[in-house]
Amino acid sequence: MTGLCEGRVVVVTGGGRGIGREYCLMLAAQGAKVVVNDLGAEADGTGIDLSPAAQVVADIRAAGGEAVVNGSDVSDWDQAKAMIDQAISTFGKLDVVINNAGILRDRMMVNMTEAEWDAVIKVHLKGTFAPAHHAAAYWRDLNKATGERVNSRIINTSSVSGIYGNIGQTNYGAAKAGIAAFTIIAARELRRYGITVNAIAPGALTRLTENLGPPPTEERRERMHPRWIAPIAVWLASEQSSEVTGRMFEASGALLGIAEGWHRGPTADAVDDPTVLGPIVADLVERARLNAGMDGKDLD
């Protein structure tokens, strides 16, 4: 039986462990040829170890699939381009980029250092933009050369920490909220070429998250296993998803849903005197929907 992604060439950043590993394995099982990108850094972004990516590639090849290792730093402009070029030179084309690489340097905002802010913003936000830019430029040029729309995908990784907000993660949350906005805008810009852009806010226990709360029960480990995230990523990578773009999917072992973005709430007539704003703002706040908590529901 033909796989859902048969013959499609996919780059997965952060593909050596956790969610990225599950993406790579399921994509390959569905017929994709996979570039497994991973620096193999520690959770805070330090160090280099290509063995996790190499192990994923070995597992894919042992199962009869096709995959290669890539050790590029996705937040480095030239290395990100080299990664895209490797996919094209190795497999003859590129169809999908899944931006999944990430690090954590959690700290309360008043204690956060400049370096902790900069590192997280660079890896997540620039590490999404750079591969997406180089891939999109390749697809745009292909569209112009052939006159035909491509059937290509960019799939980004956001987080409920970014779209809903989590204490202790101003750097990570800001980056993930930026990725959400990037996804919406890029989807609008690239649709005319046949490129869709979507994002996933995953809920999973990985080496980045499993130590953030109390020790998980076995039931929670199963419900929050990274394998639950892979099906929506693989479907979005397929040709079946061509009509879906600019969306934010929440995915975990508990649910699959769409997170809805900012919408204008209550309004009032404009005023030019700040001294009269008190009761007007109080009324707007009273009528406005509360911000969501980390569960995606209104805060009490």
Q: What pLDDT was estimated at residue 38?
A: 96
Q: What pLDDT was estimated at residue 223?
A: 76
SS3 273: coil
Per-residue pLDDT reduced to its tens digit, 273-284: 999 999 999 999
Per-residue pLDDT reduced to its tens digit, 193-210: 999 999 999 997 766 665
Kind of pairing between the strands at 195-202 and 33-37: unpaired
Helix (H) / strand (E) containing 156: strand 152-157
Fold of 9-259: Rossmann fold (3.40.50)
Q: What pLDDT was estimated at residue 186?
A: 98
Active site residues: 159, 172, 176
**What is the spatial distance between Cα 43 and Cα 133, in angstroms, rounded to a whole number?**
25
Helix (H) / strand (E) containing 132: helix 127-146
Pick from 3, 43, 179: nearest CA to 98: 179
In sequence order, the 6+-apart residues with CB closer than 8 A to the CB of 196 are 152, 153, 154, 187, 190, 236, 241, 242, 244, 245
For the chain, give the percent of residues with pLDDT over 70. Answer: 94
**What is the spatial distance between Cα 109 and Cα 107, in angstroms, rounded to a whole number?**
6
> Does pLDDT of 45 surpass 70?
no
In sequence order, the 6+-apart residues with CB closer than 8 A to the CB of 29 are 3, 63, 65
Domain ranges of the chain: 9-259, 265-300
Residue 53's alpha-carbon distances to 24, 56, 83, 150, in angstroms, are: 10, 5, 14, 29
The predicted model scores a pTM of 0.92
Residue 248 one-letter amino acid:
M
Per-residue pLDDT reduced to its tens digit, 130-172: 999 999 999 999 999 999 999 999 999 999 999 999 999 999 9
